[in-house]
Amino acid sequence: MSRFLRVFRPLPRALALAIRNSRLGGGSDLSAALVGYEGASSTGRRTAVYSLTSRRSITTGSWHGQKVTRKPLAELKQQEQEQEQDRKDHQSLSLNQNQVEVSPSDRHLVEFLTGEIIEERRVQLQLNAPLLVDDYVAIFRGSEVELVKTTPTERVNIFFNVSKSVPRRVDDTATPVRSVPKFEVLIKRGDALLSIYCHFSRTAFKDGKVVKPKPNQKWPDIFFIQEMSLYEHAWNECSYTIEASLIDDNLYCLIMEMLAEKGITNEFAVKVSDLATAHEHASYIDFLENLSKFAVGLPPPLGGDDGGTK
């Protein structure tokens, strides 16, 4: 047998047991086993003893060698149920903390608003806010409405706001509500802008309806020019503005004719009032609904591009 095989020859089972016992107890068995271990050289015996008795120990985690115990399935399910119940209790506590107690006055207010909203919804069925007024496109931004018409040479914008646009009633009769907002006609040509502020006549509508002329009579103007200004890019405090009552009557008539060429006539003004009335009513309903939410502590979605127009 070669020297290599003689040196690294495997130890007999008796010798291995003796070495293990010697590490646990005394070394008497080890000496006897080595003396009786024939077939290996002195170098082989020394190598075997070093490899089995003088090996460097390896440090492991504290869990190494410990017995792992598994919890029963029923206990695990019970633990999961307890955790789920704790989570629900925490959520319920958070909701209760966020809830606001409704006072009697707030409760009465909500009850009244609920009936008022129902009645206003019935009235709304008779109204309609169109997206087109003749050849003008309507754009809604909250309580503000913009009508736009564009031609190759100019752009015409009409702005009005339905807030505080309903005149105060002089009696308690059930007179239909009619919105008559002031409106601005803005004519843009290049960088120049001509601004014309207009307002409705107080006698234009009676009981919510248009006062039409008698046969063979001219229809009087239901809107008038209030003031005018001409500026570039944007209006500022330095832009000159003139009251319509101070300009020449002939100039006033020419401006009215120019508006008529843009489609802004008595008939158009009536359609603007109809549009404003429908949008004002929708905005009023949104106000009532937001007020009801406010009374019970819910944050209302204030603002918006459509202003509540349905």
pLDDT by residue (tens digit) across 71-110? 566 777 777 777 777 676 655 544 454 555 778 888 899 9
Partner residues linked to 186 by β-bridges: 157, 195
* Integer Cα distance of 123 and 281 in angstroms: 9
The CA distances from residue 136 to 200, 233, 290, in Å, are 19, 22, 31
Percent of the chain with pLDDT over 70: 66
Given pLDDT bands bounded at 50, 70 and 90, which one contains residue 176?
Answer: confident
Spell out the residues 6+ positions from residue 128 whose beta carbon is closer than 8 angstroms to its own.
278
Above 70 in pLDDT, residue 40?
no
Above 60 in pLDDT, residue 216?
yes
Q: What is the mean pLDDT of residues 250-257?
A: 96
In a domain, 112, yes or no: no
* Three-state secondary structure string covering 145-208: EEEEEECCCCEEEEEEECCCCCCCCCCCCCCCCCCCCCEEEEEEECCEEEEEEEEECCCCEECC
Same domain, 130 and 241: yes
Same domain, 124 and 200: yes
Same domain, 171 and 254: yes
Same domain, 135 and 215: yes
Above 70 in pLDDT, residue 268?
yes
pLDDT value of residue 71: 55
Place of tokens 């003796």: 18
Same domain, 45 and 137: no
Tokens of 50: 């070093």
How many other C-beta atoms lie within 10 A of the C-beta of residue 283? Answer: 20
Given pLDDT bands bounded at 50, 70 and 90, which one contains residue 277?
Answer: very high
In a domain, 79, yes or no: no
Same domain, 261 and 182: yes
pLDDT tens by residue, 115-143: 999 999 988 887 877 788 889 999 999 99
Spell out the residues 6+ positions from residue 168 whose beta carbon is closer than 8 angstroms to its own.
none
Given pLDDT bands bounded at 50, 70 and 90, which one contains residue 233?
Answer: confident
Q: Where are the beta strands (DSSP E) in the chain?
A: 132-133, 136-141, 144-150, 155-161, 183-189, 192-200, 205-206, 209-210, 223-232, 241-243
In a domain, 23, yes or no: yes
Average pLDDT of the chain is: 76
In a domain, 17, yes or no: yes
Spell out the residues 6+ positions from residue 39 whose beta carbon is closer than 8 angstroms to its own.
6, 9
Same domain, 43 and 126: no
3-state SS class at 144: strand
Same domain, 137 and 47: no
pLDDT value of residue 304: 53
In a domain, 272, yes or no: yes
pLDDT value of residue 66: 45
Percent of the chain with pLDDT over 90: 42
Tokens of 140: 């809604």
**231 against 2, higher pLDDT:** 231
Label residue 62 exposed, middle or buried (CB < 10 Å: 0-12, 13-18, 19+).
exposed
Partner residues linked to 188 by β-bridges: 155, 193
In a domain, 307, yes or no: no
3-state SS class at 243: strand
In the chain, the number of structural domains is: 2
pLDDT value of residue 108: 92
pLDDT value of residue 309: 47
Same domain, 48 and 137: no
Above 90 in pLDDT, residue 151?
yes
pLDDT value of residue 61: 42
Same domain, 32 and 153: no
Mean pLDDT check: name the lowest of 212-221, 242-251, 262-271.
212-221
In a domain, 109, yes or no: no
Cβ atoms of residues 99 and 236 within 8 Å = no
In a domain, 309, yes or no: no
Domain of 285? 120-292
